Amino acid sequence: MHGFADVDSQSDPNSWVGVLDRLTTEPFYQAYQERVRELLHPTPGRRYVEVGAGTGASAARLRNEHDVSVATVDRSLTMTAAMQARGLTQCAVGDAHRLPFVDNSFDGAWADRTLQHVADPPAAIKELVRVVRPSGRIVLADPDYDTQVLDITDQNLARRVLRFRADVLLRNGTLAHQHAGLLATHGLVDVTVEPRTLLVRNPTAVDNVFGLRSWAATAAQRGALDPTEAHAFEDQFDEAVNANRFTYAVTFFLTAATVPSHGSARQENVRR
């Protein structure tokens, strides 16, 4: 299973803390995460929760920059220890499918690059909606790997490797464009979607573009690609880098919505 779906069972769980720390230094990540926090409409003194909070970098910024109270949930003990080391104090080890809070506990909740890893995204969304009070905010952010492009010579081979990444290496790698629909199903209102495209020209940036060069070898190990095709992918990848034409892009979707006030259809939808 992909590392972030079960960090603690990986051979070196702390290395995943390092992955998140490196991504946090990327301007693209800093900018879209700032927008995620804005979309929560943070108001001083109010209470927010991040589900799948990782190292808690964004949660700490929300708390420090908006004078709000922030709780975090993550299923990983390793990530929870990293959050506590960062000075976050309301850190629960828990599962997105069963949040350890009573109904209407928060003024807003967000999940940033978490739904792509969970076993049952609709159930996780239902939990986010349950714990947020009427008129509170929900924000979801994820890349949608159906939007990937890569410039190597053999575009068919590129598509097959990118498809493998989207469909096999992630549980829900192509769900982000459906977040708005899922939130609407719960009766949420004011649903907005903002696309943000991550464009990478430097193959060593964004943690080596998520390890992109190795995806073909992994596909070959799992029988999804012939080993000669995996070598061809690596050769063409290196060729693109050497020719200074390396280009990879994937679009993230930032989806936000408001929980309707009492007496609306939401109560029927959620509690059924």
Question: Judged by CB under 6 A, does residue 17 bind ligand SAM?
Answer: no
Q: Which helix (H) or strand (E) holds 157?
A: helix 155-167
Work out how close the CB of 205 gets to ligand SAM at its nearest, in angstroms, rounded to a whole number. 17
Output the CA angle 65-118-187, nearest 5 degrees.
Answer: 70
209: Cα within 13 Å, side-chain hemisphere:
24
Work out how close the CB of 1 gets to ligand SAM at its nearest, in angstroms, rounded to a whole number. 10
Q: Mask 106-145, x = binds ligand SAM (CB under 6 A)?
A: ------xxx--xx---------------------------
Question: Judged by CB under 6 A, does residue 172 bind ligand SAM?
Answer: no
Backbone angles phi, psi at 76, to 5 degrees: -95, 125
Work out how close the CB of 113 gets to ligand SAM at its nearest, in angstroms, rounded to a whole number. 4
Question: Judged by CB under 6 A, does residue 93 bind ligand SAM?
Answer: no
Tokens for 5?
């779906």
Q: What is the DSSP letter of 243?
A: T
**Subset of residues 24 to 63 that bind ligand SAM, contact rule: CB under 6 A:** 51-54, 58
DSSP lists the bridge partners of residue 95 as: 98
**Subset of residues 59 to 78 that bind ligand SAM, contact rule: CB under 6 A:** 73-76
Question: Judged by CB under 6 A, does residue 13 bind ligand SAM?
Answer: no
> For the chain, how big is the Rg over CA atoms in Å?
19
Q: How many residues bind ligand SAM (CB under 6 A)?
A: 21
Q: Which helix (H) or strand (E) holds 112?
A: strand 106-112
Question: Judged by CB under 6 A, does residue 95 bind ligand SAM?
Answer: yes
Q: Are 26 and 55 in contact (CB under 8 A)?
A: no
Return residues touching ligand SAM (CB under 6 A): 4-5, 7, 20, 51-54, 58, 73-76, 79, 95-96, 112-114, 117-118
